[in-house]
Amino acid sequence: MMNQSSKFASILVAGLTLMACATQPATEQTQSVLPESNAITKEKATKYPIPVEPPVQVAPAESAPPEPSLSEKNLVIAITSFERGEYTKSMRLLSPLTTDPSLATNARLKAMKTLAFSQCLTGAVVACRGTFERAFKLDSKFDLAPAEHGHPVWGPQFERARKNTKN
């Protein structure tokens, strides 16, 4: 029985021999030594074709979502300011966004709603109601989330604005 190091050495020598044979360039001398039976004839090639793998289909890379516009980025900043309780800052940032034509309607409505909330929370209830009215003019189906309806400050202003725009 051969020990493991002897087996490894035998396998290594056999592998190196095969590699040397496989990489040896064909010369006139080596070509004449090869028996004719190894030559690939047209008959053998058609009788025993070498299978060809079909090309790998690569799915097109999914395109990354488009970069948000400056207005969309400003809307995120303004809403974050509102959530931090920085109502004056959020009103300053939200005011121009409520009429920004580059924003989608739902984004403009979100800006109006957040602006109205900020206005109500700073005591500007008339301005708050006016902002809600503008939101209803932009989309007659504009509504608050169920949890937002019962707010003691902006809830009543929202309902007054809804009644004013239905008339």
pLDDT of residue 32: 47
The 10s digit of each residue's pLDDT in 5-20 is 555 555 545 555 555 5
Mean pLDDT across the chain, nearest whole number?
80
CATH number for the domain that contains residue 145: 1.25.40.10
Total domains present in the chain: 1
Please check whether residue 91 lies inside any domain of the structure.
yes
pLDDT of residue 55: 72
The 10s digit of each residue's pLDDT in 46-101 is 565 666 667 777 767 677 888 889 999 999 999 999 999 999 999 999 999 999 99
Please check whether residue 123 lies inside any domain of the structure.
yes
Please check whether residue 114 lies inside any domain of the structure.
yes
The mean pLDDT of 109-125, rounded to a whole number, is: 97
What's the predicted TM-score (pTM) here?
0.62
- Domain interval for residue 128: 70-166
Please check whether residue 157 lies inside any domain of the structure.
yes
Residue 126: closest CA among 93, 157, 96: 157
Please check whether residue 150 lies inside any domain of the structure.
yes
Please state, in angstroms and rounded to a whole number, the distance separating the CA atoms of residues 162 and 135.
Answer: 10
The answer to whether 30 touches 24, Cβ cutoff 8 Å, is yes
